[in-house]
Amino acid sequence: MNTMKATWPDTLLTALAPAIWGSTYIVATEMLPPDQPFTAALIRTLPAGIMLTLICRRLPKTLGWTRLLVLAALNIGAFQALLFIAAYRLPGGLAAVLGAIQPLLVMALAWLVDRRQPAWMAVWASVFGVLGMAALLLSPDAIWEPVGAMSALAGAACMATGTYLSRRWRSDMPVLAFTGWQLLAGGLMLAPLALLIDPPLPTLGAMQVLAYAYLSIVGALLAYALWFRGIARLSPVAVSSLGLLSPLTAVALGWALLGQSMNGLSLLALLVVLGSILAVQWSARPQA
């Protein structure tokens, strides 16, 4: 997977996952019942996990249950809960900027644990990615709600650690089985929170049922399968930088569906973020 011909198709397929996740904010705020973060995360993950594990019927023998549960907690349970808390409590732009530190966190983990110094090109590209995201999405009147901000930062840390460990603890399970077990275990972790903390789910309309189905089938089953496939083929830094496509997709959807405006500075910042993603992909290719 070290050649351009082998790497770029994998990169493009992996990029579909954060592009799909970019619709989470607009679906959560515009279509789902309010104040149901854990229920939304549960409905998104558990049905998809049950479906995949029943289809694949493959036990995680070599990976081990302990490592599987750690990965499920980081990639699914904790991350999804924190994601929806941030989505409900913060403007989407602020949550995205805080989440944009993921590539830097992955590089820090590789440096601290593996003693592998990151390429300076990747470091600076990631820094410019965060700055570009801030210029694109932050507004002067953005409200830094403490719980939401801490949730966004903690979610970024969980996803970065989960991405790093998913590559470090590579499993011989098929990608769909690996994805299914994590979604199933992560969904079970979310169930007590949804039952004990969230208010009862109100009667759902047809549009809300379709929104939950979209989040589960497309936003969890398909997107996570593509994400874990990418982790097996690309470097963790390259994969995590693709996560910046999620807020870019959210911006594009806000412009197309909600009539949100974009000015010259926004377009320049968008190009900076895209350039950052490409630069990280280029610098990380030798380690893919």
The predicted structure's pLDDT at residue 164: 93
The predicted structure's pLDDT at residue 141: 65
The dihedral through the CA atoms of 201, 180, 19, 86 has a sign that is positive
Look at residues 219, 242, 220 and name the one whose alpha carbon lies nearest to residue 231: 242
As a whole number of Å, the end-to-end CA separation of the chain is 6
How many whole angstroms separate alpha carbon 118 and alpha carbon 110?
8
Report how far apart, in Å, the C-alpha atoms of 166 and of each of 74, 175, 224 are: 10, 11, 12
10-residue stretch averages of pLDDT, the chain, 288 residues long: 57 93 81 86 94 91 84 92 78 74 90 84 89 77 78 90 90 89 96 93 92 94 95 90 86 75 78 90 67
How many whole angstroms separate alpha carbon 102 and alpha carbon 22?
15
- Residue type, position 111, single letter: W
The predicted structure's pLDDT at residue 62: 67
Q: Between 146-168 and 78-89, two packed helices, what is the crossing angle to 10 degrees? A: 150
The predicted structure's pLDDT at residue 76: 94
- According to DSSP, residue 287 is labeled G
What does the CA dihedral 115, 119, 123, 125 come to, rounded to 10 degrees?
A: -160
The predicted structure's pLDDT at residue 286: 52
Length of the chain: 288
- Residue type, position 126, single letter: S
The predicted structure's pLDDT at residue 81: 83
How many whole angstroms separate alpha carbon 218 and alpha carbon 48?
9
